[in-house]
Amino acid sequence: MSAEPQPFKLGSQLVLPMRLSQDIGFENFYGSTNERAAALLKQELNQGNSTLIYLAGGRDSGKTHLASASMALQEAAGQRCCYWSMAEHAVDGEDMLTLFRSFEDYAFVVIEALDQWLIDAHRETALFNLYNVFLHNGKRLMLTANQTPACLNLTLPDLSSRLSSGLTVRLEALNDADKQVVLAQVAKSKGLTLEDEVAAYIIRRSPRNMGELLDVLARLDAASMIEKRKLTVPFVKHVLAW
């Protein structure tokens, strides 16, 4: 990883623009649903020169995983990177201007949940200006959103054309079969064996989104270590009170 980025002051909040996890990469992006999309993205990062990369997909499509994997790839190539989620820290006014000026110090910037934040002309102009700075300086910007650029309700026509100018990667939500593969692979990385029957049972009984499924697996992992038992359907029922 490159040197730790310097914090900057944003209102009363001290923000470290860092990747969500050091363990997330293309090598552990499991499942076949978005396998080709991930390969296309990795190829663009390694060989392309687009100023903008746009990841479009709904919940459980793997946007955040691929955004973090992209940062890991760029950091390995010696690029200074920054991550920001508008879903967690939406900004406006002077804070927005401070934040966007700070982005200019990085070679690769990821902004997540764009469509939840991009709701007025003032914000559109800030993003448009940031894109132009990155284009002029040979830097790269990655944006993630639920919708494709064409589906955003923008008031600034020039921004609409800019958002459509680079690579747009469309991601689909994982199906249950892929979620089962993800759970099994993550379990394997923890030293656990998760049989298909057990994984299918967890998916049937748990909330279906991957974040909550992985939380369930983490609970089972901890219980398995304490009780020194394998992951079986009866053990899952016991731990989770199902």
Q: What is the pLDDT of residues 116-145, one digit of tens each?
A: 899 999 999 999 999 999 999 999 999 999
Backbone angles phi, psi at 52, to 5 degrees: -120, 135
pLDDT tens-digit map of 141-169: 999 999 999 999 899 999 999 999 999 99
User: How far is it, in rounded angstroms, from Cα 180 to Cα 29?
Assistant: 13
Q: What is the pTM of this model?
A: 0.83
Decide: residue 54, CB within 10 A, 0-12 exposed, 13-18 middle, 19+ buried: buried
**77 pLDDT exceeds 50?**
yes
**Whole-Å CA distances, 57 to 15, 103, 144, 172:** 26, 24, 8, 6
